[in-house]
Structure 1
């Protein structure tokens, strides 16, 4: 294989692929990215056998071929190259030379034959597909990713539920202690899909969507569900994931239909007060008490090791006082995910969950709700 390619194009592809390469796998080839040159293009791919990502860019291909080279090493060396064209040459034995055109700088990498790299999954030609803006996918993930369980032994909650019903698309996540649900309406679009996307795939999808969103155009994500896999095409990249085969919890039953007490609070001020008071919370539980009164939302924490903390946020509320304990981090995650000036906090009693919604979320095409279970403090 022999080709010349612009540094910025090679760097972009390798950077997007190396996050999927599995450096801890018992299969050494999975720590590599596959470079495959053919015609007038170079395709870069990576997989861990569950996730796969690939993309291609124009290149001056002198001789076609493929080679697998260590992902992290390749990324570091391409970054260190001067701007301009780079020549990539691979000979028998998979030894790969990367040289800056017009410069003496070069590196040699010990690769593996491209034929040893696993075949990436492909969608069936007749598989159903749908489209949504990359910005919307980024928002769906940003509003929900933090409440995905990190326990890999519980696959049904170590993932995000992605649903599309008619014109309504939603993402739901839960770890058993909290739940986040983001929905949006896409006018003129009708589709049906249900996918359970694992946490690692959610992180990679968010990265791809955010990078696409940062570009000047308004990119679209093409989504295809084929067999056990889902395929996402965005900004010239194709990302595939093996979906989780499990039953997501019945999230509709977790969201309270109504509440006895509802207040509006300034989001930034509430987040600042929670962050400050949580400094004195127990390291083990991170628990704080929220007391809703007619004048203020009082926040307190107590810890045998670090003492007490107190702050309050002015609110407009009429009704009986109520005190409920919560994990402060769960509240802070929700408040950091929304950008409205105010949020609505709804509660019923000391043993009931809290429901948080953006203050201006009720009438628009998008809706968001977070549910946080109480804790005894």
Structure 2
């Protein structure tokens, strides 16, 4: 195996592929990236057995000798990053070593046999859809923060994708808050009936890193236990979480009677300031609602207190309710409208946050007892 490649195009692809590779591996070969050279195409594959990412690079000049080899992912990436921008890198593989050369620099890396590199299942998909990368990025950006991180309810450590012939909806929840975003635009879908699947947290984060060109298309292929996404330069495959996602429709408040409307930016700044003196562990703030006024109060075990008064559009009953301020700030951080709408039924019920009645996203945050 022998070829020459530009340092910049290799770093761009290797950066993403190496992101899939786990630093601590049970199998030594999983710390490696698989390089496959066929004429003037080089493919790079990284996997942790749950997620696989294949990057494709077209070489300016066809390789002298086709072949395949696996090399340590992190070491190769660090070497390539340390070389000057705009330089060319020459690779040559012999027996169980790969020589990497650029200018006056020489490196020799150990390899492992390519035949031992695991292959993620190549199942036939039941549903296919095509959409713009920007559309998918919006869905993930607006909901990803609400995924659980290491919950024993493993089905919460991921994102629900719900697809039918008309729309794609994604939902994430950690049991304390819920985020939902629905793609309003018509998309091209093939496959019988609707489908629900849970994409694992790592799969969601790695897929989001690939979405760099908002206007370019991405093809999604959904199988019974895998999802595959293909862009111009990458093929991403992830196992799906085998579990049942909670019935999210049940937790969305229905026709709450107390509705507050206010400036998103003003509320975000007020919550940010009061959060400074909230309890570091529980992050609780008290919201006191009276006619056209919202008082936000936070205090902590050191007997310190912060209070903010924000003018709002509110004509409901007087209410006092507690929330984790971090959850409210997360929502205000992903919404983009000037105004937000916060709907409440009573001090013990969840709050519903939206941009407007016509928005594509909604958020549910459970109250706290303070």
Interval of TM-score (by shorter of Structure 1 and Structure 2): over 0.9
Distance (Å, rounded) in 1 between the aligned partners of 2:122 and 2:39: 21
> Quick one: structure 1 residues 178 and 249, their matched pair in 2 at CA, closer, same or farther if it must change by over 3 Å?
same
Which of 332, 335, 341 is the matching residue for 2:332?
A: 335
Distance (Å, rounded) in 2 between the aligned partners of 1:177 and 1:227: 29
Deviation, 1:153, is: 2.7
1:9 counterpart residue number: 9
Q: Deviations over 1:52-104 (max 9, x none)?
A: 000211122111111111111111111122313211111101x111112xx21
Contact 1:340/1:358 (8 A) holds in 2: yes
Distance (Å, rounded) in 2 between the aligned partners of 1:212 and 1:68: 29
1:67 counterpart residue number: 69
Contact 2:184/2:360 (8 A) holds in 1: no
SS in 2 for 1:62: coil
Contact 1:88/1:98 (8 A) holds in 2: yes
Distance (Å, rounded) in 2 between the aligned partners of 1:73 and 1:293: 60
Structure 1 residue ranges without an equivalent (≥5): none
SS in 2 for 1:235: coil
1:370 counterpart residue number: 363
Which structure 2 residues correspond to residues 44-59 of structure 1 after superposition, within 5 A?
44-59=44-59
Structure 2 residue ranges without an equivalent (≥5): none
Deviation, 1:109, is: 1.5
The number of aligned residues is 364
> Quick one: structure 1 residues 166 and 367, their matched pair in 2 at CA, closer, same or farther if it must change by over 3 Å?
same
SS in 2 for 1:330: helix
Deviation, 1:295, is: 3.0
1:268 counterpart residue number: 265
Distance (Å, rounded) in 1 between the aligned partners of 2:244 and 2:56: 36
Deviation, 1:212, is: 3.0
Distance (Å, rounded) in 2 between the aligned partners of 1:10 and 1:127: 34
**Higher mean displacement: 344-353 or 57-66:** 57-66
Distance (Å, rounded) in 2 between the aligned partners of 1:148 and 1:187: 26
Contact 1:212/1:235 (8 A) holds in 2: no
SS in 1 for 2:75: helix
Distance (Å, rounded) in 2 between the aligned partners of 1:180 and 1:161: 10
2:88 counterpart residue number: 85
SS in 2 for 1:284: coil
Contact 1:123/1:224 (8 A) holds in 2: no
Runs of 4+ in 1 over 4 A off after TM superposition: none
Distance (Å, rounded) in 2 between the aligned partners of 1:68 and 1:188: 39
1:212 counterpart residue number: 213
2:307 counterpart residue number: 310
Distance (Å, rounded) in 2 between the aligned partners of 1:197 and 1:151: 15
SS in 1 for 2:204: helix
Which structure 2 residues correspond to residues 1-377 of structure 1 after superposition, within 5 A?
1-59=1-59, 60-82=62-84, 83-93=86-96, 95-100=97-102, 103-124=103-124, 127-187=126-186, 189-191=188-190, 192-209=194-211, 211-213=212-214, 218-305=215-302, 307-359=304-356, 362-363=357-358, 367-377=360-370
SS in 2 for 1:129: strand
Contact 1:163/1:194 (8 A) holds in 2: yes
Contact 1:70/1:111 (8 A) holds in 2: yes
SS in 1 for 2:313: coil
Distance (Å, rounded) in 1 between the aligned partners of 2:364 and 2:126: 35
Distance (Å, rounded) in 1 between the aligned partners of 2:114 and 2:172: 38
SS in 2 for 1:201: helix
SS in 2 for 1:252: helix
Distance (Å, rounded) in 1 between the aligned partners of 2:272 and 2:308: 10
- Note the aligned Cα RMSD (angstroms): 1.5
SS in 1 for 2:43: strand
Distance (Å, rounded) in 2 between the aligned partners of 1:202 and 1:188: 20
Q: TM-score, normalised by structure 1?
A: 0.93
> Quick one: structure 1 residues 152 and 66, their matched pair in 2 at CA, closer, same or farther if it must change by over 3 Å?
farther
